[in-house]
Amino acid sequence: DSGVTQTPKHLITATGQRVTLRCSPRSGDLSVYWYQQSLDQGLQFLIQYYNGEERAKGNILERFSAQQFPDLHSELNLSSLELGDSALYFCASSAGAGQGYYGYTFGSGTRLTVV
Amino acid sequence: EDQVTQSPEALRLQEGESSSLNCSYTVSGLRGLFWYRQDPGKGPEFLFTLYSAGEEKEKERLKATLTKKESFLHITAPKPEDSATYLCAVQEGTGFQKLVFGTGTRLLVSP
């Protein structure tokens, strides 16, 4: 157990629907990162939050949004889902916002299948 | 834009057969180079961080090295339990923590 908790582990939904993925960071970590992993593209950075504030955005679609709550858990919202959104979604956490030297701690991911 | 290229894409070894995985990178000011191990259906697991050319780090049968343009992950006398995908990532020195990942090397070690 890495200490980063992601729910649900698996999600199957239809095109056009909206889903919410949840992440609880490791105790004491203030930063949360969301990554998408598909077979052909590897791990792609989506967005980072630090202590409730958005810190950086990557290749995140406008249909996707995220937030980090006061208790530091984060949610990734995916809407108007398309078949191409099927992927593994990982959450990772770290202690600071500018101290990545020890790497991130990743959760076990949510496998999203859009049918 | 930061780029990370890993080779080979896949590698099959016999138990005990040592080899190396390559990670070539392009980044404007390297802040750190990271190696992760990922098992099927699981999240990446942190292995090493390297900060400057010439640095080396070891953990059990794994040894990571860094030059100005690439990093190597040497696997000495691998065992079947070393089978996994090995991911390389770089972080540029802008103070922003985004990691840019390569697509990984899938390693299979046969008994």
* Minimal C-alpha gap between B72 and chain A (Å): 18
| DSSP secondary structure string for all residues of A29-81 | --EEEEEEEETTTEEEEEEEEETTEEEEE-S--TTEEEEE-TTS-EEEEE-S-
Q: Can you tell me the distance from the alpha carbon of A24 to that of A65, in angstroms, rounded to the nearest whole number?
A: 17
Mean pLDDT of A85-106: 80
Q: Is A30 on the interface with B (CB under 8 A)?
A: no
Q: Are strands A110-114 and A87-94 parallel, antiparallel or unpaired?
A: antiparallel
A84: phi then psi, degrees, rounded to nearest 5? -70, -10
Q: Are strands B10-14 and B105-110 parallel, antiparallel or unpaired?
A: parallel
CB contact under 8 A, B45 and A43: no
Report which secondary-structure segment, H or E, holds B26: strand B19-26
CB contact under 8 A, B49 and A99: no
CB contact under 8 A, B46 and A103: yes
Tokens at residue B96, please? Answer: 């922003």
Q: For the segment B34-46, what is each residue's pLDDT rounded down to a tens digit?
A: 999 999 889 999 9
Q: For the segment B50-91, what is each residue's pLDDT rounded down to a tens digit?
A: 989 999 999 999 999 999 999 999 999 999 999 999 999 998
Q: Can you tell me the distance from the alpha carbon of B109 to that of A38, in angstroms, rounded to the nearest whole number?
A: 24
Q: For the segment A31-54, what is each residue's pLDDT rounded down to a tens digit?
A: 999 999 997 778 999 999 999 999
* Minimal C-alpha gap between B50 and chain A (Å): 9
Closest-CA residue of A relative to B86 is: A42
